């Protein structure tokens, strides 16, 4: 899908491992027309170990907390207690693949 914009995109959301591999310097230069960490921020998801090795900015989700809360909720539900929705905040891990917007 092509989206017309008045300003160039400043971030590439690389949520999957495949997209992270594709969104390297060559791919961004050639297909997006932007340079990673200069014109555009490339961001991964879940802060996998390879993100740190590649100096990729990422969104870290509290996976261990999510699992612990899910277990407690299941135990409470099985005991007949009411289940409430829980929101957990992710953290943005800024690394070398991030850049400020050009118009900021």
Top-ranked range on mean pLDDT: pick from 10-19, 21-30, 36-45, 69-78? 69-78
CA 66 to chain centre: 17
pLDDT, one tens digit per residue, over 25-62 is: 545 555 556 677 777 777 888 888 877 877 888 889 99
103 with 66: CB under 8 angstroms? no
Asked if 87 and 56 count as a contact pair (C-beta separation under 8 A), the reply is: no
Phi-psi region of 79 (alpha: psi -120 to 50; beta: other; left: phi over 0): alpha
State the Cα angle at 54 between 62 and 52, rounded to 5°.
30
| 9's tokens | 């995109």
Could you tell me the residue ranges of all domains in the chain? Answer: 11-93
Q: What is the pLDDT of residue 1?
A: 43
**In the predicted model, is pLDDT for residue 22 greater than 70?**
no
Model's pTM, two decimal places? 0.62
Element (H, E) at 32: none
């Amino acid at each position: 899908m092509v989206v017309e914009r008045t300003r160039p995109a400043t971030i590439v959301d690389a949520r999957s491992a495949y997209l992270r591999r594709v969104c390297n310097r060559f791919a961004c230069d050639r297909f997006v027309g932007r340079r990673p960490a200069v014109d555009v921020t490339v961001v991964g998801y879940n802060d996998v170990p390879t993100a740190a090795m590649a100096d990729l900015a990422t969104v870290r989700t509290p996976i261990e907390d999510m699992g612990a809360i899910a277990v407690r909720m299941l135990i409470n539900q099985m005991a007949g207690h009411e289940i409430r929705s829980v929101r957990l905040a992710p953290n943005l891990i800024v690394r070398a693949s991030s850049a400020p917007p050009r118009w900021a």
